[in-house]
Amino acid sequence: MDVLMPQLGETVAEGTLTIWHKAVGDTVENGELLFEIGTDKVEMEVPAPVSGVLAAINVEAGVTVDVGTVLAVIDDGKSDAATPATSTSAPAPVAVPAPAASSEPARDPSLRLSPVVRKLVAENNLDPAHIPGTGRNGRIKKSDVLAFMRDAPAAPGQTSAPAAPPITSPVAPPVAPVAALKSGAGRTVIPFNRIRQMTAEHMVRSKTVSPHVAQGVEVDFSRIDKVRTEKGAAWKAREGFSLTYLPFIARAVCDAISEFPNINAHVEGDNLVVYEQVNLSIAVDLNFEGLVAPVIRNASAMTAVEIARAVADLAGRARSGQLTQEDHQGATYTISNNGSFGTLFTTPIINQPQVGILSADAITNRPWVVTVDGEDMMAIRPVGMLTQSFDHRAIDGAYSAAFLRRLKEIIETKDWRAALP
């Protein structure tokens, strides 16, 4: 059975095999840890898909390959995979040994670093030998580096000796360009890192494939704001994180999609594939180093409370490098939340192959016309823009506008107090 490089996310086209935990000829059990992979977005342990004998390893540790590349072959007794003793592709064992450690210090397996960890170590001038690892066999994870930097602020003064050369990355030090600017050179060239390269490729492809149209509505968030004011302190004390507008917006999106299901779809060839279940992708910024969009599965069956907890969990794991392969897959609609930066509106780019994406921007107090006893008057209300980009191949402007109108109605009229304990 062929073992493939898995898809680590809808916008990720390649990954780096960081370490093998088995050698050619070893017996493996279904679900047993086989190897580890990583990108600038996520690092992940990958188990064996079947039980059998590892017949061949085609990709050495430290090598970056495209998604779908055959990394290894497991002889499960059912396929045509050759055993180590009879393999005609005898060179396969050659791919296993020492070279696997060439991209990391051979003296200590725990110092074999994933791409995301290498990047952090290089940017902060750290010596990985001083960082305690909590991963398998003492390997250093992203969360270990972040904890080390938090608990030992003086450590960045250390230098990274043998690990420095293999860690080198085009993005590694954004510090160097600053020095160049101070020297009076007049410009700085910053090569794209892997996240930026993949994001750029995906964005260009999306704009090329989908005819984008953007529409927006202004929404009065008074009802949600009152709930946040009344219950926010108790919520934070109980849950450990703030109660934001996002889970309410997400719940309202699911309600509106139930009436306008064609928004919750993918384009495949000349077909629109509409999904009953809303798998909601939430864009998460990684401290300006890139963007990921992990998925809340079956958000349509969740309450606003459950969505709030799911958002907090995914955002926390995204920023600590703990997302899994499944966290990136299966999204049917996306929400991008830029409101914390004070933006008035954003026209987001569709996350392929979806047909719609919503941007939630800043909610601020503004003059607003309200009707009281049949008369219009001015009031100050918390108002914000919700902007949707949609694929004009899949839906028309009237359908998108009707969806946004319904979304606005739900947010402005629903009894949100009943949604929270």
Written in H, E and C, the secondary structure of 294-363 is CEECCHHHCCHHHHHHHHHHHHHHHHCCCCCCHHHCCCCEEEEECHHHCCCCCCCCCCCCECEEEEEEEE
Tell me the two tokens of residue 353: 């192959």
- The torsion of the CA quartet 119, 125, 126, 127, rounded to 10 degrees, works out to 100
| C-beta pairs of 26-30 under 8 Å, 24+ apart in sequence | 26/53, 26/54, 27/52, 27/53, 27/54, 28/52, 28/53, 28/54, 28/74
CA dihedral sign of residues 200, 202, 204, 207: negative
Q: Is 396 assigned a catalytic role?
A: yes
Q: How many CB atoms lie within 10 A of CB 188?
A: 12
Given the residues 80, 255, 392, 415, the one annotated as active site: 392
Q: Is 392 assigned a catalytic role?
A: yes
291 three-class SS:
strand
Q: Tell me the C-alpha distance between 308 and 311, whole Å.
A: 5
Given the residues 75, 373, 396, 415, the one annotated as active site: 396
Tell me the two tokens of residue 89: 């592709």
- The secondary structure of residue 76, as a DSSP letter, is -
Phi and psi, residue 386, nearest 5°:
-115, 120
Catalytic site positions: 392, 396
